[in-house]
Amino acid sequence: MEEPRVIEVSKLNPNFKYEVAKAPGGEGILKCFACGTCTASCPVRAINDKYNPRRIIHMVLLGMREEVLNSEFIWLCATCYACQERCPQGVRITDIMCALQNIAAREGKVHNLYRNQLKALADFGRLYEIDDYDNKKRRKKELPELISTGEEITKLIEKTHLSKYLSEMMSKDKKEEE
């Protein structure tokens, strides 16, 4: 049996739940009474028993800000909405996970999978580079060739806050490599 974990009260942020409640998607978090319907409904939980939406919500309500925002678990939500459809309190758990992801992203705490996807999107205009093999398959099916749209995406990225985030992410990655 696992030893119970001690939570240091001095490390808790009692305002975290209100921060999440004010974020788009996080509005209903204070209605959660921890029944566990979300966890019982979750397909991610079925394949990873460490993933526990109820625990994540509970940690937010306790004020475990740093632990929640640094957790990989907020990024594992499949956004299937099964939890939201079944929640007896109408808590929008999927939306709360998105709110937590957005708060974490604003602080540069993004799961590596998403960081790599953003880099690929910036480089190629899609999540993978189009090569001759892809276009050869398309020609055989009489489909038009795909071209890289990286330049168009780069223009869009430059017009949004993503360009700032992408450059910060790249410089952070370089520092970590050194």
167, amino acid identity: S
Structural domains of the chain ordered from first start: 9-106 (1.10.1060.10), 112-177 (no CATH)
Higher-pLDDT residue of 9 and 32 is 32
HSE-up (13 A, CA, CB side) for residue 7: 11
pLDDT at 2: 64
pLDDT at 39: 97
Distance of alpha carbon 70 from alpha carbon 61, whole angstroms: 16
Distance of alpha carbon 75 from alpha carbon 101, whole angstroms: 7
H runs (alpha helix) in 23-92: 37-41, 43-47, 53-62, 65-69, 82-86
Does this model's pTM top 0.85? My answer is: no
Q: What confidence tens digit (pLDDT) does each residue in 70-92 have? A: 999 999 999 999 999 999 999 99
Check: CB of residue 68 under 8 Å from CB of residue 59.
yes
Q: What confidence tens digit (pLDDT) does each residue in 11-65 have? A: 999 999 999 999 999 999 999 999 999 999 999 999 999 999 999 999 999 999 9
- The C-alpha angle 89, 92, 95, rounded to 5 degrees, equals 170
> In residues, how long is the chain?
178
